[in-house]
Structure 1
């Protein structure tokens, strides 16, 4: 499954297509049957985790030298897309594993990579990303969590919120202030283990969607971590955070594409079967035009996400615009497509008997996390005007 970024933009390599087919079969048989119950009972999708680990799709982004598949960024996007097509909560397993380790992969020491990445690759551990705080969401540089040296160790104090898969993960990439006089240049990035003294999970959010993925608040009370668990040099943490998002916002776009595809598939199946006025409602032009618009916008979103992922894979500079654009556009499309799917199912779409309402609720978060779509537009405009 080693990646090849030099593929034709308009034709995925055969290995990518074969991987999609294999994963879709796994998703249909081992993940989709549990998606509604996972949502209804707000429980972690253990069946999905087991299926993804058993098939090696839990963290395909991890390089081969650390036991991973070494999949390229487009392949990672396809994995997340396919899982999100049947269960968005489950798609956060591979998605957040990448988010939680991307900074380490980009800027971490070889020793730290060897310590963390093999356990992510083999599925014995998961990773999460801890940037946001209650008073430092979109304005992440105003964070208050602090880290100070203490001999050979670091001592962390503070809290983080909105941590996807918090409490389930073993490793956490945590941003903390090491020099409060330097602003964003005084922020450093660390790897925290769930068993480090002084680390705790203090609560969970009650959410509109992605109910199968826990969203936690973390506390660091004189949390002691070894000195070698800093990522890169002191003061480079915020740069690492921004680099990470340039590589992972496309995965949110992929998630959005996946849930939109799932909703479109469901809507097509329903309108072909539903009869009114003596014929299938799919014969009505109003219905046909809605489906056409849904599919057209979805294809545009998919192409933008793959393009952004390919540019990240090639290591291009200045990819902030396309990373933000792909996430922003795809998530807006997902919200529209899933809402239209509910409309096409009519009263049935408003019930939990069909997946459309869950998809609509799950799609909403793609417009919010990893930077709201308002922030994505700020990122895009800055890239254009700099």
Structure 2
């Protein structure tokens, strides 16, 4: 059997294959209250029918001021649990595992009012200048991540991912390009990691399932983070009980990126080898053959598919065909996948 379609066990969870739907924002909570709507039910349920082994919900805000947009999904209030529970039911009834990405947008939030960041430096001229977080605000946010993890457990999620990438709040603390603090949360790599360390510890106190952290391994700017610099932090994550590092890149500062198929896979390979931790590869992975090469050569342990699953909810079937592997289809669709 192709390695892409082998089961994969992470802590107490076994995925039926190594295909995960990467978290992608839908901006579809149109009442601006963070609640699940019909779009989410159809979108996530259909990808589970499509035979992805893991569905990771979009960046879901742990605080209202931490939303990227006013239309983001939320998990900052107990009222969100009911809708999220419905999504986990829809996902899991088709054999996929249900994950959720817990997030805070930091200085890239576009909601009304004050926005927060480690330092009072705007992302660009198109964004507001954030308020530098006090230590009290930092602790309040750490607690918000822990409360969100508890709500995720109540909603039936199998897996959590902390969003430490793409220039959002955790990423802003990790990178020296956006963290200009001179207190215990800034300066050295240990200090810049402190915010994430406290979040992981707080989440682990209430969550014993699989835990991922998504990072931006490359800042594409002089003086920024690189995969080699992230090896040290990935080792700390492993010591704290993080099971897998989901390796993306960019967006902590405006920078020119020239993407090509698999352009982020070397970053995954560097961190996997250097930190001896499981990694997920993402970034213009479009075919089963490409995904299989990544896994066969131990460049990653999990394949996260983003835009390709927006284009084709049933991409795993095509990947199986590419790899001459038979996978079981829902009985309702079996006639369509008999060759």
Please tell me the TM-score bracket, short chain as reference.
under 0.3
Could you say which structure has the higher helix fraction?
A: 1
Larger radius of gyration: 1
| TM value normalised by structure 1 | 0.23
| TM value normalised by structure 2 | 0.25
